[in-house]
């Protein structure tokens, strides 16, 4: 009787997991559409003028953004190793890599705050310019997503420590991993568009 209840519970979890995964993927697709609309608006503004950035407006510092990118991409690697450690029952490995991901995500946000404070000193060129507005909108929206991701990772870590997830039921960790990799991929596009191109 107990084994039948366990089997039906596993079947129910499997069905609900599929629905949750579909819902979460639809959320990520809607987020892709949001970022895509802002990126296309940026590309339209950029192609509408002869010189970009406009005269007198300096581009953002590539060096700071490159260091920040390495930090964020490193956090994608640690997130991958964290969930793999969890799936294989290596609790210490999971905890170490999960905490490293949270720390690296926080360092990325600190780097972005440093960059913003430096750019805010250029009072005569950035505020009121199309370039400044598009830059702060895109990077700010991404930074907000990173902040939400860090909070998400902290919550999932606390849930794991409380025993919410086991080796067969860990959808929250899967969702956190997908979200974190999404944030990484969006940054690849923004880094290329805003700093390199």
CB 141 within 8 A of CB 186: no
* pLDDT tens figures, 70-100: 999 999 999 999 999 999 999 999 999 999 9
* pLDDT tens figures, 86-139: 999 999 999 999 999 999 999 999 999 999 888 876 654 666 678 888 899 999
* Average pLDDT, integer, range 37-64: 87
pLDDT at 8: 56
| Cβ count near 87 (within 10 Å) | 14
Residue-wise burial string across 181-196, b where 16 or more C-beta atoms lie within 10 A, e elsewhere = ebbbebbeebbebbbe
Q: Which domains does the chain have, with CATH numbers?
A: 2-196 (1.20.120.80)
- Percent of the chain residues past pLDDT 70, beyond the cut: 88
- The per-residue pLDDT of the chain, averaged, comes to 89
For residues 85 and 175, give the distance between their C-alpha atoms in angstroms, rounded to a whole number: 16
pLDDT at 130: 82
Tallying the residues shown for the chain, one arrives at 197
* Average pLDDT, integer, range 33-47: 94
* Average pLDDT, integer, range 160-189: 93
């Amino acid at each position: 009787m107990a084994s039948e209840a366990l089997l039906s519970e596993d079947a129910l979890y499997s069905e609900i997991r599929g629905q949750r995964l579909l819902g979460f993927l639809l959320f990520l697709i809607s987020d892709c559409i949001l970022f895509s609309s802002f990126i296309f608006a940026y590309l339209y503004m950029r192609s509408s003028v002869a010189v970009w950035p406009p005269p007198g407006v300096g581009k953002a510092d590539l060096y700071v953004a490159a260091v920040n990118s390495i930090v964020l991409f490193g956090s994608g690697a640690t997130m991958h190793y964290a969930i793999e450690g969890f799936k294989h029952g290596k609790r210490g490995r999971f905890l170490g890599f999960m905490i490293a991901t949270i720390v690296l995500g926080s360092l990325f946000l600190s780097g972005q705050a440093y960059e913003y404070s430096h750019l805010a000193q250029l009072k005569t060129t950035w505020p009121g310019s199309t370039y400044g507005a598009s830059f702060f909108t895109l990077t700010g929206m991404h930074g907000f997503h990173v902040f939400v991701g860090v909070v998400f990772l902290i919550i999932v870590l606390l849930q794991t420590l409380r025993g919410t997830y086991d080796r067969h039921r860990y959808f929250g960790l899967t969702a956190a991993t997908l979200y974190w990799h999404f944030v990484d991929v969006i940054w690849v596009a923004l880094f290329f568009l805003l700093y390199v191109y």
